Amino acid sequence: MRIYCTSERHANGGPGEFILARTEDALSSLTTAYRGRVQVIYLDPPFGTGDTFHIKIGSGKKQLRLPAYADDMEEGAYLTWMRGVLSGARDLLCESGSLYLHIDYRMSAKLRLLLDELFGPENFMNEIVWCYKSGGRSTRYYPRKHDTILFYRKSARVFFDIYAVGRPRGPEKRNHMKRYIDEEGRVCFSIRSAGKLYTYYEDTPVFPSDVWDDIEHLQQKDNERVGYATQKPEALLNRVILASSRPGDLVCDLFSGSGTTAAAASKLGRRFLVADASPFSLYTLRARQLKAMSAHSFLEGDHELVLRYPADETPAAFSAKQVTARGKRMLSIEEAGFTPAYPLVYAAVGTVSGEQFSPSAVDCRPKLPLQLPVDGLDRPVAQIVDAMGRTAFFTIDG
């Protein structure tokens, strides 16, 4: 029998929460629950390109390329929308919190003025330039090879730890420095400037400036890639999160996309709160987090992943039966899908309480027929998700 759920609770994959909703709709509930509790917010909104971006599912001849989101809002409407987003983001931040707004040349000047208005020009921290080498090679103008990240604090009480993102100087000689070995056998470098002698050791930290040219854009065959358009590298989010939060702090992203913010936050021991309007973002994050965090079931601490979404009433076909295989009770799914038909991208079995589904076994790359264990489940429930993000739940008769 078909039933309807509006959330999932996984034992692993967090600690964090994903909300499937338009940013402005998500903010209306988030500001009530999380006002003044978020340490750092990273936003990578549409850039005003006028393009439609896609997600790639599968590989080879069976690969699907589906539209993920359209970046086609008229400029006036876009700026009005972003005013609401940035105002809500400011409400979420705690007094020591900060905001990183990732944008490009199209809207950076206009959004800088908007941020000055909402946060105050005195709370501007940096205009970070992220330089990369990938992309087109225009001959009509200088090739555009950077994005801008506008960095603002909530107040003068901001937390910022540049030592957390420093790197050892290393053995490379720089700036005509003299290299020598000191009396303790340590490699060091020295330079005299304005009558003063400056000495640096190999392990002396070097801090990033506001030009980030040491983080590469993701390449086509990079292992991090999940098929989501405009995906950002984890190294970029690592720097943001490490410099502007502490372990256990809450990190927020209102345009979750490929799930990079959640991935970086959970690996660095932070909690995450993310939202996106695209169902592709939901199942990309789910698969990414479950794959990365499966080992955490053996570790102490909270690793719970909560996913929230509207109930999906799209008609679905489902046929399954319980069987015994190698002495274990299994659910054998023979038929599952929606109309029109798209490949399944996720299947799970578990239990339901109210409208919350708690999976006990999952498959992020299901192929029918599929068997999932149901030992220990008195009233098993099956979940299926297809490549369009359509979701259905079914109770299983004994």
| Ordered structural domains, the chain, with CATH | 22-165+209-276 (3.40.50.150), 167-205 (no CATH), 316-395 (2.60.40)
The predicted pLDDT at position 152 comes to 98
3-state SS of 277-316 is CCHHHHHHHHHHHHHHHHHHHHCCCCCCEEEECCCCCCCE
Calculate what percentage of the chain has a pLDDT beyond 70: 97
Q: What is the pLDDT averaged over residues 156-161?
A: 98
* Nearest CA among 258, 277, 393 for reference residue 19: 277
Pairing of strands 93-103, 38-43: parallel
pLDDT tens per residue, range 186-237: 888 888 888 898 888 888 889 999 999 999 999 888 899 998 888 999 999 9
Calculate what percentage of the chain has a pLDDT beyond 90: 74
pLDDT tens per residue, range 68-125: 888 999 999 999 999 999 999 999 999 999 999 999 999 999 999 999 999 999 999 9
The predicted pLDDT at position 126 comes to 98
The predicted pLDDT at position 294 comes to 57
This prediction has a pTM of 0.92
Residue ranges of alpha helices (H) inside the chain are 23-34, 75-92, 108-119, 234-244, 260-267, 279-293
Q: Name the one residue in this structure whose structure tokens are 């029998």.
A: 1
Q: What is the pLDDT averaged over residues 307-324?
A: 95
Total number of residues shown for the chain: 398
Distances (CA, A) of 331 to 145, 248, 323, 378, 394: 51, 38, 6, 13, 12
The predicted pLDDT at position 297 comes to 46
Q: What is the pLDDT averaged over residues 17-43?
A: 96
Q: Is 358 exposed, middle or buried (0-12, 13-18, 19+ CB in 10 A)?
A: middle
